[in-house]
Amino acid sequence: MSGKVVLITGASSGLGELIAYEYAKRGAYLTIVAIKEPESRLEQVAHKARELGSPDVLFLFADVSKIEECRMFVDDTVKYFGHLDHLVCNAGIGPIYSIDIDVSKFEPVMPAMYEACFNNSFTNALVFYILLLLLFLISPLLFVWELIITVRSSFRPNENMSGKVVLITGASSGLGELMAYEYAKRGAYLAITSIKEPESRLEQIAHKARELGSPDVRFLFADVSKVDDCRMFVDDTVRHFGHLDHLVCNAGVGAIYSIDIDVSKFEPVMDINFWGSVYPTHFAIPHLMKTNGKIIVNSSSSGVLSVPKAGVYGASKAALISFYESLRHEVSPKVTITIVTLGFVETDIITSKYSTNSVGVSLRRDIGDVYPTMGADACAKAIVDGVCKGATSITQPRFIKALFFIKFLFPEIHRLYFNIYFASMHAKLQRGG
């Protein structure tokens, strides 16, 4: 690292500070960044890094949540040192969690055990391989368990949706529309929402849902990225129908990421895909608690598999998975959460026309022409069937689950496969014809 330049965010304390010292011992030039606070120790960290061997340390105060300040400290680093070799994105915050049980009696024991196991590189690796071996030894039992769960679910009685109220976001097309029809066939009351656009078909969808068997359908125009809109349509649904049984968080947008596109253009992807599910969930939970209801969240396999060119989209879906996996522990058993992780499904979002009208890279061919896809009708039916049978996770097409297994246990194989396969497929999407 001698002579190389390293930029570290969140470097005033914790791992950021210690990583800076490790790079300093290796002779690297450093730029360290932290937010300006009274208790900030950035200048002292810079001084110690110089003492440990860094030829020069530039320290800058900046807020990494502001795009202009990020541009500033990256530009300042390159301007000052002439180049940049390592970028360490370390800045972060976390809530302080408290529990009622006194666990102070374990404090003297646990840190010593962790230090012995994890701070030594050999024992750290040894623990990993022992656990991996145990996983392989019990894997036949895990496969049998998965088979038992699948068989049991096929005999589990369907939830009777007659007279129940279902609220679906992003229902003007695609899976949202088709799930509305599936619920309508089961006799559910519906509230369907989407953003108000000239091409919105929400009223026609409401009419068709009534024809398919829904006793009453209420359609509302709202922007799920706005917290007040989400409060409005949840309250309106409960006011109109008297209660709420299922919340289907389906609204979302797709975007193909490229490092050549202004990153600020992708902000709506996170606002709609993540906050557009969290906001209505927040307002719906008190009502769902009363009815032992369900939350269905339409995530994506991209949130697990880290698909190339799906950087921001995949990040928004990974955030959904993490949020709802955590939330299910808080609301269970009164509220059931179903997380849906889908592969490519034949909806507008995978067409070249959609990519042309959205942020991100434009495609010349439909994704369905290149990648294996699942029919939208079959997918919507599988989702609603699974929800009504009490499933807490639904993956379609089913083979995607095998890719999850490979990704977590064999990340290098996963990356190699994706680099080769997706690179060739993406080239076909760009060529067209």
- In tens, the pLDDT along 168-185 reads 999 988 899 999 999 999
**Percentage of the chain with pLDDT > 90?**
41
Q: Which two tokens stand for residue 14?
A: 């914790």
Q: Which two tokens stand for residue 327?
A: 């939330």
Q: Minimal CA–CA distance to 9: which of 92, 94, 93, 90?
A: 90
Per-residue pLDDT tens over the stretch 247-282: 999 998 877 666 667 777 778 888 899 999 999 999
Residues in a beta bridge with 294: 246, 336
Rounded to an integer, what distance in angstroms lies between the CA atom of residue 362 and that of residue 354? 8
Per-residue pLDDT tens over the stretch 87-143: 998 888 765 433 234 433 444 444 444 555 566 676 777 777 787 788 778 878 877
Angstrom CA distances, 192 to 226, 250, 270, stand at 17, 11, 22
Instruction: Please identify which of the residues 23, 189, 313, 324 carries the catalytic annotation.
Output: 313
Q: Given a cut of 90, is residue 423 above it in pLDDT?
A: no
Q: Which amino acid is at 280?
A: P
pLDDT value of position 356 = 55
Angstrom CA distances, 3 to 209, 417, 430, stand at 66, 35, 40
pTM of the model: 0.75
Cα 15 from chain centroid? Answer: 25
Q: Which two tokens stand for residue 264?
A: 């600020």
Per-residue pLDDT tens over the stretch 201-252: 899 999 999 999 999 999 999 999 999 999 999 999 999 999 999 999 999 8
Catalytic-residue membership of 313: yes
The b-or-e profile of 358-384 (16+ CB within 10 A means b, else e) is: bbbbebebbbbebbebbebeebbbbbb
Q: Give the helix/strand (H/E) hosting 403.
A: helix 400-409
Coil, strand, or helix at residue 358?
Answer: coil
> Is there a contact between 85 and 6 (Cβ–Cβ < 8 Å)?
yes
**Percentage of the chain with pLDDT > 70?**
83
Q: Minimal CA–CA distance to 254: which of 266, 240, 238?
A: 266
Could you say which architecture CATH assigns to the domain 5-88?
3-Layer(aba) Sandwich (3.40)
How much is the mean pLDDT over the chain?
83
Please give the biggest Cα pair distance in the chain: 76
pLDDT value of position 362 = 59
Please, which pLDDT band fits residue 297 given cuts at 50, 70 and 90? very high
Name the CATH superfamily housing domain 158-431.
Answer: NAD(P)-binding Rossmann-like Domain (3.40.50.720)
Q: Which two tokens stand for residue 17?
A: 């500070």
